[in-house]
Chain A
Amino acid sequence: MLISCNKLKKYIDKSEEIDWLNIWKTFTIRTAEVEEVKEVGKQIDNVVIAKIIKCEKHPDSDHMHILEVECGEANPVQVVCGAPNVRVGLKTAFIKVGGHIDGVEIKSRPLRGIMSNGMCCSKKELGISDEHDGIIELPEDAPVGMNIKKYLPIEDIIVEIDNKSLTNRPDLWGHYGIAREISAITEHELKSLELFNIKNDEKLETLKIKINNPELCYRYTGLKIENIKNNKTPLEMQIFLYYVGMRSISLIVDLTNYIMLELGQPMHAFDGRIVKEIEVGLANDKDTFKTLDNVERNLTKDMLMIKNGKEYFGIAGVMGGLDSEILKDTTSVFLESATFNAGSIRKTAVALGLRTEASARYEKSLDPNMTKTAIERLIYLLQKENKELKISSQLTDVYPNKLDETIIKLHKKVLNRYMGKIMEDSTVKNILEKLGFAVEIEEEYFNVTVPTYRATKDIKIEQDLIEEIARIYGLENFTPKPLKLDLTVKEHETIYNQEYEVKELLATKYDLNEVNSYIWYDTNLLKRLEIEKKGVKLLGKTENNILRDDLSFSLLNIAENNFKNYNKFGIFEIGTIINNNSNKRVLSIILADEEKNIEKTYNKAKEICTYIFKVLKNENIIFKNHINEKEYNNSKLGKIIFIDNNKVGEINVINKKITNKLAKKKVIVCIDIDFDKYVEIEKKEKISEEISKYPMVELDYTIIMPKELKYEDLDEILKNYKSKLIKKYYLIGKYENKYTIRYLIGSDIKTLEQKELQTFKERFIQHIKDNNLLIIE
């Protein structure tokens, strides 16, 4: 929102004492964020009011004139001007030789052979409008020779305040509210607004106004006025409107905008000739309505409308209709000043994609007690330009549920607790009163009366008042203070730590890279892979709208992208999937390599799983075969990971068809570990075991397996070979179908003798042979 400091100065007593350029730094930390402070009108100098006293056609041009202007100097000055509206007697702005406009110096120079000593200016050249169709026309009583800056408020400081930081402050959506803040911050008096006191004349008609939905329209105030003969907006107001980002249209329209910019109360003026009876009610579904901007709008039954008779007249709080627009020839106007429900206006504006200055304000919950003031202020300003203005109706005010001032008890104990210090009664009272609150001091609390312009949204409980006190007291006056000492040892949850522990292990021990991905499937990828996923869906979205139920599968597009740069890589994520309508945490690891390395990669996956559980949980996991149901997984490969009889995860290989679509001649192995279960597993505490004092012997055997058998079959056979001497056995190598097994054997009570070793060896070889396998010693 743009704010004109010239306007603010009008509302504040002794405003000249305020540093208007720098006050905004303070405003930022007291009230709301200021985005920009800009000085305007500085780049213009030596412009004075001049009167054209002679006007002749330029002999050598079809549009230029040779003028003589009086500009307060001893002799008239000759100037050549191309504007079409030049005429004798016109008063305008004239820039003298040596003056500047937009940093360019004006010099005497011939124009088509005739000397021109200066320049007459358009509004655009003065920087006060976009109009450039002629030189500015000043009123007849403008004093010749006077510096234009003294006559018109061309020099101003324009401040942009971040709209978002005003979300909770309906009272700050007009200049008067900002002035109230400045007055509180600087401790200057705020002047009251000049109003026209409308006395209701019994003889005048009462306007027909009906509110069908008092929950959506809190108040509707209407007034009919006639005999508006002058519809020209004073220059000063035009400049103000331009500086704060609005276009001047006509006096009556400009005034409704002006009141909105001043008080924050949007107003609407309808052509007085066509208003019959006003009804505020909801639209019918599928009706259409043409707004002021000449766009046909589709209505719904949730949209609040202003109706005239049976016809739609305007979309309440958003925009008026094209048919009720003020026409040039009207001298009669119906003024609307109303308050609507904030949520309803916002929804309508959003649904229509039509956010207007009015709807932006209504969305903030305006004070219904402002409607009458707004009309009285408008009449006051209108009457200045139209002395013969006639009020032709009663001020008709439909206000079903009057909003009264509220009283909040602010306990001193609570205030001091929040502030971290003891606040003086007088300080509290002074701050609140400056902001418009009334304060009575009691023993243990303050009785604070909240003005209605703060009560609609922002100030409801005592903490809201504490916020007011703290900010005006000065947030920079707070000193950081430590919490009181608390030595309780607490750890509510270990999830975060456990996640980090696993991540760190994977990154350091296995050189894997952590990625973050999205919680939904990439629709594009699903399409290309011809995989259909059913799951929880995002509403109102057609792409990327299915929540993932398989973390590793959802990581395939990341894998695909990395194949562009790497033949071999490993990534992982701990993320959420949605399964059976509930959140589940999963650790997924993807190992990608060239197809020829499938065995190595697959075994690596098993090693990683074993390692995680052994190191971090001291648990031995077991791999079991499973029938792979998912269409994108290799149905022959894949393991389920168990701890005892508890399934904690899976290893899968993406099948060839899918893999080939991602990258040619590659293999992708996926590990998914149920992290909710993982977190629940308590780390087994290991108790120290007695270690034998006697040496152990390593014996290696290579066993040749028939092609159709696997290691798991061999393992079954090995398990059946029992001997007290076996400490441990494990696979140390595999070449084709030759498996090398290492046995560690020994005794706890003595060093093994050659004979015992020999017996062990012979029995073992016999056991293998009994199982029809070949053994190489």
Chain B
Amino acid sequence: MEKELEILVEELEKELQNCQKEADLLNVKSSFIGKKSKISQILGSLKEMSVEDKRKYGSIINNTKKKMEEMITNYAENLENQNEVVFDDSVIYDTQIGSLHPVTIVAKEVTECMKKMGFTVVSGPEMETEYYNFEALNIPKDHPARDMQDTYYLDNGMLLRTQTSGNQIHAMEKYGAPLKVCSPGRVFRNEDLDANHENTFFQVEGMVIDKDISIENLLYTMKQILTEVMKCEVNLRLRPGFFPFTEPSYEIDMECTICKGNGCPTCKNSGWIEIVPGGMVHPNVLKAGGINPEEYNGFAFGLGLTRLAMMKYKISDIRILNGGDIRYLKQFNIK
């Protein structure tokens, strides 16, 4: 009996060697351990054996069957592994990545931060009327800002907006007070191009109108925004400025983040960088927006997004930004 079982195992071994496909294996499996296989017959004959023989052969037969089953399973695994696709897993292709414009990225950062503070984002037209660009902003007829040298006037009687501040008026007219809005956008100034001057650049306007707004609120808000955008704690100072649409008006300076206020080439040795003009909204501007200045007041500011992008990415030539050269623009990716 033992001999017979040994031969069975040897035969199985031999047959398995010849198996190349899954189908062969299935045939071998059914003929060696299937219902009609030799081993099954032997197992079947067990019940006719004497108690003594049963005890003697029972476990041997069962163990042999188990062994044969294992052999087949193992071989099946081997066969699967052999059929796995083989390839060069060390290949690396160039990853194609698109890009957002650096100004878009910075604008997103600023507006995102302002949204967290409860501002909503509003827009306004690039081709604008004199009324919204000047008159409503308390810029009188003979003000130098209205000169042809600074403003692109159009042959249809309109102009290209020189500032996003006109959106203050649009927002007040549309949404009334109280109001907390910001408005990023493209503005135009009649300038000759060089590394530092562009005729087309971006600003973001910010405006808060409510009851009892103070200069201290303006200072707080600017500190929050700039801290978030510069990604470090910033120190600010207010300096008297002059803008027709705010009164009082301020130049808001940021302590130079490079030299910490000690003076370096970036801040022209002054320790401070002029970063954002702003002030308390002029009562005439509130009136133009249909808001009663006796009841409400507020502050407004205009942050130069193009300049912020240049600072952030250390771009030394402003012309890159409107040049559209993908080799430059690609560097800034998405975020």
A interface residues, Cβ below 8 angstroms from B: 28-33, 165, 167-168, 342-343, 346-347, 350, 363, 417-421, 461, 463-464, 466-467, 470-471, 475-476, 478-484, 486, 488, 490-493, 495-497, 500, 503-504, 506-508, 510-519, 536-541, 547, 555, 557-558, 561-562, 565-566, 569-571, 575-576, 578, 581-583
Contact (Cβ within 8 A) A478 B238: yes
| Contact in complex: B99, A514 (CB < 8 Å) | yes
Q: Is the CB of B123 within 8 A of A511?
A: no
- B111–A475 CB distance below 8 A: no
The stretch of B60-68, B74-82, B211-219 in contact with A is B211-219
Contact A576-B186, Cβ < 8 Å, known A420-B216, A463-B247: yes
Q: Residue B126 at the A interface, CB < 8 A?
A: yes
Question: Which residues of the partner chain B approach A496 to less than 8 Å between Cβ atoms?
Answer: 111, 121-123, 184
How many angstroms from the CA of A507 to the CA of B100 in the assembled complex?
6
**Cα–Cα, bound, A488→B98 (Å):** 37
Segment 66-97 of B: residues with Cβ below 8 Å from A: 96-97
Question: B25 on the interface (CB 8 Å rule)?
Answer: no
Q: Which of A33, A511, A565 contacts B97 (CB 8 A)?
A: A511
Provide the residues of chain B in CB contact with A417, threshold 8 Å.
212-214, 297
Point out which of B99, B174, B213 has the most chain A C-beta atoms below 10 A from its C-beta: B99
In the complex, the 7 A-B pairs of residues with the closest C-beta atoms, listed nearest first: A343-B142, A420-B214, A558-B324, A467-B248, A480-B220, A507-B98, A420-B216
Contact pick for B200, options A482, A504, A518, A561, CB 8 Å: A518
Asked whether any CB of chain A lies closer than 8 Å to the CB of B171, the reply is yes
Q: B36: which A residues are within 8 A, CB to CB?
A: none
Query: In the bound complex, what is the Cα–Cα distance between A496 and B334 (angstroms)?
Result: 17
Q: How far is the CA of A363 from the CA of B240 in the complex (A)?
A: 20
Interface size class of B (residues with CB under 8 A): 35 or more
Is B322's CB within 8 Å of the partner chain A?
yes
- Assess whether B237 is in contact with A463, with CB atoms less than 8 Å apart: no
Residue pair B188, A519 in contact (C-beta under 8 Å): yes
A536→B238 contact, CB < 8 A: no
Task: Establish whether residues B214 and A168, one from each chain, have CB atoms under 8 Å apart when the complex forms.
Answer: no
- Within 229-273 of B, Cβ neighbours of A (below 8 Å) are at 237-242, 247-251
Check A581/B156 contact, CB under 8 A, given A483-B208, A558-B324, A561-B324.
yes
Tell me if B248 and A492 are in contact (CB < 8 A). Answer: no
Given A470-B215, A496-B121: A513 and B250 within 8 A (CB)?
Answer: no
16 extra A-B contacts, CB within 8 A, seeds A516-B321, A538-B152, A575-B186: A28-B239, A32-B240, A165-B242, A418-B280, A420-B214, A420-B216, A420-B217, A463-B248, A471-B240, A475-B238, A481-B219, A496-B122, A516-B101, A518-B199, A539-B152, A582-B127
Smallest distance from the beta carbon of B158 to chain A beta carbons, Å? 8
The interface-forming segment of B13-21, B45-53, B325-333 is B325-333
Which residue of A480, A495, A513, A515 has the most chain B CB atoms within 10 A of its CB atom?
Answer: A513
> If A165-B241, A562-B324, A569-B326 touch, does A547 touch B98 (CB 8 Å cutoff)?
no
15 A-B contact pairs sorted by A residue (CB < 8 Å): A165-B240, A417-B297, A418-B215, A466-B248, A481-B217, A486-B180, A492-B121, A492-B171, A493-B121, A515-B324, A518-B322, A538-B160, A539-B155, A558-B324, A571-B326
Who on chain B is nearest to A494 by CB? Answer: B121
Q: Chain A's interface: helix, strand, loop or mixed, by majority?
A: mixed
Contact code string B306-335 (vs A, CB < 8 Å = 1, else 0): 000000000000000111111101100010
The answer to whether B327 touches A483 (Cβ under 8 A) is no
Check if A565 sits within 8 Å of B215, measured CB to CB: no
* A628–B175 CA distance with the chains assembled, in angstroms: 42
Contact B330 A33 (CB under 8 A): no
Chain B 26-61 near chain A by CB (<8 Å), digits 1 or 0? 000000000000000000000000000000000000
Distance A168 CA – B244 CA, assembled complex (angstroms): 10
Shortest C-beta distance, A94 to chain B (Å), equals 38
* B residues near A511, Cβ cutoff 8 Å: 96-98
Known A-B contacts A167-B242, A576-B125; A566 and B326 likewise in contact (beta carbons under 8 Å): yes
Please tell me if the beta carbons of B160 and A503 are within 8 angstroms of each other in the complex: no
Interchain nearest-CB distance for A429 vs B (Å): 19
Cβ-defined contact, B122 with A493, below 8 A? yes
Q: Specify which chain A residues have a CB less than 8 angstroms from the CB of B250 in the assembled complex.
A: 475
Q: With A and B bound together, what is the CA distance between A469 and B120 in angstroms?
A: 33
User: For residue B329, which residue of chain A has the nearest CB?
Assistant: A513
Whole-angstrom distance between the alpha carbons of A336 and B325 in the complex? Answer: 59
For the complex, give the distance between the alpha carbons of A578 and B161 in Å: 14
Whether, in the assembled complex, B210 has its beta carbon less than 8 Å from a beta carbon of chain A, the answer is: yes
| Complex interface: chain A residues within 8 A of B249 (CB) | 467
| Contact with A461, one of B104, B160, B283 (Cβ below 8 angstroms) | B283
Pair B321/A463 contact, Cβ less than 8 Å: no
Task: Given A481-B220, A539-B153, A571-B324, answer yes or no on A492-B181 (Cβ-Cβ < 8 Å).
Answer: yes
Q: Does B136 contact A (CB under 8 A)?
A: no
A513 in contact with B125 given A417-B212, A482-B217, A565-B327 (CB within 8 Å): no
Chain A, residue nearest B270 (CB) = A28
Interfacial chain B residues near A547, Cβ < 8 Å: 127, 154
Q: Tell me the B residues contacting A by CB distance below 8 Å.
A: 96-101, 103-104, 108, 111, 118, 120-123, 125-127, 141-142, 144, 147-149, 152-156, 158, 160, 171, 174-175, 178, 180-181, 184, 186, 188, 199-200, 208, 210, 212-217, 219-221, 223, 237-242, 247-251, 280, 282-283, 297, 321-327, 329-330, 334
Task: Contact check, B210 vs A514: say whether CB atoms are below 8 A apart.
Answer: no
Q: Which residues of A contact B282 (CB under 8 A)?
A: 463
Bound form: Cα–Cα A464–B248 in Å: 6
B202 — nearest CB in chain A belongs to which residue? A516
Q: With contacts A342-B142, A482-B217, A492-B181 known, is A500 near B155, CB below 8 A?
A: no
Tell me the minimal C-beta distance from B28 to chain A in angstroms: 32
What separation, in Å, do the CA atoms of A537 and B157 have in the docked complex? 10
> Which residue of chain A has its CB nearest to the CB of B334?
A507
A493 and B120 in contact, given A481-B216, A511-B97, A583-B125 (Cβ under 8 angstroms):
yes
Q: Are B324 and A517 in contact (CB under 8 A)?
A: yes
Docked pose: A33 CA to B240 CA in angstroms: 8
Q: Give Cα A566 to B330, complex, Å.
A: 13
User: Chain B residues with Cβ under 8 A from A538's Cβ?
Assistant: 152-155, 160
Closest chain-B Cβ to A475's Cβ sits at a distance in Å of 4
Is there contact, CB below 8 Å, between A483 and B98? Answer: no
Of A165, A419, A495, which contacts B123 at CB under 8 A?
A: A495
For residue B223, which residues in chain A have a CB less than 8 angstroms away from its CB? 480
The answer for the CA separation of A483 and B211 in the assembled complex, in Å, is: 10
Select one of B126, B217, B326 contacting A513, CB under 8 A.
B326
* A460 nearest CB neighbor, chain B only: B247
Whole-angstrom CA separation of A421 from B219 in the bound complex: 14
A29 contact from B123, B152, B239, Cβ within 8 A:
B239
State which of A467, A519, A583 has its C-beta within 8 Å of the C-beta of B240: A467
Contact B297–A418 (Cβ < 8 Å)? yes
Chain B residues with CB below 8 A from A541, complex form: 152
- Closest residue of B by beta carbon distance from A570: B98
Minimum CB distance partner of A572 in chain B: B98
- Min C-beta distance of B245 to chain A, whole Å: 12
- For B100, B240, B280, the residue with the greatest tally of chain A CB atoms inside 10 Å of its CB is B240
| Cβ-defined partner of A519 (8 Å) among B126, B180, B181, B324 | B126
Of the candidates B96, B108, B239, B322, the one having the most CB atoms from chain A within 10 angstroms of its own CB is B239
Q: Taking the nearest CB of chain B, how far is it from the CB of A218, in angstroms?
A: 15
Q: Which residue of B lies closest to A565 (CB)?
A: B327
Chain B's closest residue to A466 (CB) is B248
- Give A342 Cβ to nearest chain B Cβ, in Å: 7
A540 near B101: Cβ-Cβ < 8 Å = no
Q: How far is the CA of A303 from the CA of B175 in the complex (A)?
A: 45
Closest to A463 in B: B247
Partner of B215 from A29, A33, A478, A484 at Cβ < 8 Å: A478
Chain B residue nearest in CB terms to A482? B220
Please tell me if the beta carbons of B219 and A419 are within 8 angstroms of each other in the complex: no
Q: CB within 8 A of B120: which of A421, A491, A518, A576?
A: A491
- Residues from chain A with a CB closer than 8 A to the CB of B251 are 33
Please report the C-alpha to C-alpha distance between residue A531 and residue B104 in the assembled complex, in whole angstroms: 31
Q: How far, in whole Å, are A496 and B322 apart by their CA atoms in the complex?
A: 20
User: Of A476, A503, A514, A518, which contacts B237 at CB under 8 A?
Assistant: A476
